[in-house]
Structure 1
C-alpha cells in the first residue's frame, strides 16, 4: 500500500482525537468504542467522502450521541494514549485494508486494542494491524479446535 495522503492522515488524527474526547468527557471507553465502531457515524467516516469527515471531533461526538440516544457515562476507562492510538489505528486500518469500521471491530474489539497497546503502539501502524488480524485468525482456529 502506498503512503496515506495528507487528508487521510488528518482523518486518522481526527478519529484519534475523537476517542480522546470520549475519555475526557467522562464516557465509558469500551462502550464508546463499541457504539462508535458499529454506528452510522463511523460508516459515514468510512465513505469516500462525507461532510462528517471534516466536522471535527466535538461535532462527530454529538452526532454519535444523538444516533445512539445517549452514550454511556462513567464505567471503564483507558488512558489517553490508548484511546488516541485505538481511534487512529482503526481509521488507518480502514484505509489500509478497505474493511469497514463494524468489520474491524469484530476483529479487534476495545479490550483487544487495550491489551495489545503496550506491545503494538510502537510498531508501524500497518504492522500492528497485520498482527491484530493474525491474533484474530489464531483465536478463530482455537475456537474451531475446541
Structure 2
C-alpha cells in the first residue's frame, strides 16, 4: 500500500480524538464504539468525499449522538490511550483495506481492541491491523469446526 496522504492521516487523527472525546464526555466506551462503527456518521467518513470528513470531532460526536437518539452515559471506561488508538486504527484500517467501518467492527469489536491494545499499540499500524484480521480469521475458523 502506498503511504497515506496528509489528509487521510489527519482523518485518522480526528477519529482518534473523537474516541478520546467520547471518553471525556463520560460515554460508555464499548457502546460508543459499536454505535459509531455501525453509524451513518462512520459511513460518511468511509466515503471518498463527504462534508463530515472536515467537521471537527465535537461536531461528529453531536451528529452521532443525534443519530442514535442519545449515547449511553456511564458504564465501561477504557483508557484514553486505548480510545485514541482504537479510533485511529479503525480509520487507518479503512484506508489500508478499503473495508467499511461496520465490516471492520465485525472483525475487531471494542472488547477486542481493548484486549489487544497492550501488545499491539507499539506495532506499526498496518502490522496491528494484519494481526487483528488474523485473530478474526482464527475465531471464524474455530466456529466452523
TM range (shorter): over 0.9
Distance in 1 (alpha carbons) for counterparts of 2:85 and 2:27: 17
Q: 1:49 and 2:39 equivalent?
A: no
Distance in 2 (alpha carbons) for counterparts of 1:35 and 1:97: 21
Q: How many residues align?
A: 145
Q: 1:79 and 2:97 equivalent?
A: no
Q: 1:28 and 2:41 equivalent?
A: no
Structure-1 residue corresponding to 2:127: 127
Distance in 2 (alpha carbons) for counterparts of 1:137 and 1:69: 34
Q: Any unmatched runs of 5+ in structure 2?
A: none
Question: Deviations along 1:22-75, whole A, 9 cap, x unmatched?
Answer: 000000000000000000000000001111111100000000000000000010
Question: Deviations along 1:65-116, whole A, 9 cap, x unmatched?
Answer: 0000000001000000000000000000000000000000000000000000
Distance in 2 (alpha carbons) for counterparts of 1:130 and 1:85: 15
RMSD, aligned α-carbons: 0.3
Structure-1 residue corresponding to 2:102: 102
Distance in 1 (alpha carbons) for counterparts of 2:5 and 2:13: 12
Structure-2 residue corresponding to 1:114: 114
Runs of 4+ deviating beyond 4 Å: none
Q: 1:136 and 2:136 equivalent?
A: yes
Distance in 2 (alpha carbons) for counterparts of 1:144 and 1:51: 41
Structure-2 residue corresponding to 1:7: 7
Instruction: Quote how far apart the aligned CAs of 1:144 are.
Output: 1.1
